[in-house]
């Protein structure tokens, strides 16, 4: 697998404009369609999923909704509660989890609010039809999340929110790098050394998520010199969990200031002033992160420094910066 190759996403088919909804319609998301067909063609690949169609419910079909007590709900027919495709939808979730693993899917974009695809915040109804709560997860999505907790997932609402989009793609890209590393093996001292190098290269990225790389490493591997498949899987989960913490402008500002401090001694004064202003302009929300990041990257290319060496933070994937570039988000 190529770490620089296209990112592979699983996408709810109705978001792509496919007429697979219960009423024969779709919910095409213009941003997602634009990303896949235009702006990011070649950088993104996708596989469609529609669990309700895959479960054999057909199109058009009677609408379903989550029904029951929070935490113990099923997907039942909205008009005829004797219709109960819950187990079929759960089975689709488990199947998709295995297939996505095999197909090296890097993340999933699923339809919000759906009793099948909704990641969270799905309306749950009581037996008499009244709303019981809005904290449900679609049954397909719930199984997928349970089987693949490390797989980054987002709905189209999150995708249209620049900071959440950037966070999602950051996790997707880092997860891809991790799986590429695993492709090299997991059961030798050399593999363990490669893992240590991988972890070290994400030190500043982890810091921007509020996680100290040294503490995480110690908690997982104190005293170890080699790892097996179990430890590798444990690390993958802990790594994605750490990246699941939302990075904030304050944390990014802190990382950028540390890098700038390391850069200043080898920098001509006027350039140093420009860098300082760019970092502070970002920290106060006036410019995107890409501005000081680019200045820092250029500087460290000519003037290597141990703090910056090999750091993924300084070389984000274009997808990671998409949100920030477009909207001056985090």
Instruction: Summarize as ranges the residues that interact with ligand SF4 (CB under 6 A).
Output: 12-14, 20-21, 50-52, 111, 114, 116-117
Residue 217 · residue 227 · CB < 8 Å: no
Least distance (Å) between residue 240 CB and ligand SF4: 24
Taking the complex as a whole, the smallest distance from the CB of residue 123 to ligand SF4 amounts, in Å, to 14
Q: Which residue number, 88 or 195, has a Cβ lying nearer to ligand SF4?
A: 88
Closest distance to ligand SF4 from the beta carbon of 15 (Å): 7
Return the sign of the alpha-carbon dihedral for residues 126, 130, 135, 136: positive
Pair 115, 68: CB distance under 8 Å: no
Cβ closer to ligand SF4: 51 or 292? Answer: 51
CB nearer to ligand SF4: give 61 or 299: 61
Q: Residue 263, Cβ neighbours under 10 Å: how many?
A: 22
Nearer to ligand SF4, 12 or 291 (CB): 12
DSSP string, 53-71: HHTT--SS---EEEEEETT
Local structure of residue 38 (DSSP, 8 states): I
How far is the C-alpha of 115 from the C-alpha of 124, rounded, in Å? 9
Nearer Cβ to ligand SF4, position 75 or 295?
Answer: 75
CB of 83 to ligand SF4, least distance (A): 15
Q: Minimum Å distance from CB 104 to ligand SF4? A: 21
Nearest CA to 172 among 23, 318, 314? Answer: 318
Give the residue at shortest CB distance from ligand SF4: 14
Gap between the terminal Cα atoms of the chain: 30
Least distance from ligand SF4 to the Cβ atom of residue 40, Å: 21
The candidate with the shortest Cα–Cα distance to 7, out of 119, 117, 116, 154, is 154
Q: Report the residue number, 20 or 232, with the smaller CB distance to ligand SF4.
A: 20
| Dist. CA 35–CA 44, nearest whole Å | 8
Complex with ligand SF4: residue 114 or 240, whichever CB lies closer: 114
Residue among 123, 89, 96 at smallest CA distance from 9 = 96
Closest CA to 249 of 213, 297, 276, 281: 281
| DSSP-based three-state secondary structure for 204 | helix
CA dihedral 234, 238, 241, 245 (to 10 degrees): 180
Q: Sort residue 104 into left (φ over 0), alpha (ψ -120 to 50) or beta.
A: left
Comparison of 50 and 195: residue with beta carbon closer to ligand SF4: 50
Least distance CB 51 / ligand SF4 (angstroms): 5
The CB-of-110 to ligand SF4 minimum distance in angstroms stands at 7
Q: Pairing mode, if any, of strands 64-69 and 72-77?
A: antiparallel
DSSP letter (8 states) at residue 247: P
Q: How far apart are CB 56 and ligand SF4 at their closest, in Å? A: 12
Q: Which is nearer to ligand SF4, 21 or 164 (CB)?
A: 21
């Amino acid at each position: 697998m190529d770490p620089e190759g296209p990112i592979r996403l699983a996408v709810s088919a109705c978001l792509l404009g496919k007429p697979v909804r219960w009423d024969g319609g779709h919910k095409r998301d213009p941003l997602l369609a634009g990303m896949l067909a235009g702006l990011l063609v070649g950088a993104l690949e996708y596989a469609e999923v529609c669990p309700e169609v895959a479960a054999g419910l057909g199109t058009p079909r009677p609408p379903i909704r989550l029904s029951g007590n929070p935490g113990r709900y099923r997907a039942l027919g909205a008009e005829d509660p004797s219709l109960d495709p819950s187990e079929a939808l759960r089975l689709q979730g488990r199947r998709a989890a295995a297939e996505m693993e095999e197909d090296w899917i890097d993340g999933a974009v699923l339809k919000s609010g759906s009793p099948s695809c909704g990641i969270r915040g799905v309306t749950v109804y009581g037996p008499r039809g009244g709303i019981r709560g809005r904290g449900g997860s679609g049954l397909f999505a719930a199984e997928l999340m349970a089987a693949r907790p490390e797989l980054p997932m987002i709905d189209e609402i999150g995708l249209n929110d620049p900071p959440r989009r950037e966070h999602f793609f950051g996790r997707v890209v880092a997860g891809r790098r991790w799986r590429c590393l695993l492709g090299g093996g997991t059961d030798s001292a050399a593999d363990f050394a490669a893992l240590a190098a991988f972890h070290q290269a994400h030190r500043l990225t982890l810091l921007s998520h509020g996680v100290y790389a040294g503490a995480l490493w110690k908690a997982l591997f104190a005293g170890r010199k080699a790892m097996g498949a179990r430890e590798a899987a444990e690390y993958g989960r802990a790594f994605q969990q750490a990246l699941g913490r939302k990075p904030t402008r304050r944390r990014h500002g802190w990382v950028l200031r540390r890098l700038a401090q390391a850069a200043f001694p080898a920098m001509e004064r006027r350039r140093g002033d420009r860098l300082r202003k760019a970092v502070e302009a970002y920290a106060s929300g006036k410019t995107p992160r890409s501005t000081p990041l680019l200045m820092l990257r250029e500087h460290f290319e000519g003037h290597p420094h141990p703090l910056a060496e090999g750091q993924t933070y300084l070389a984000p994937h274009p997808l990671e910066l998409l949100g920030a570039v477009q909207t001056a988000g985090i």
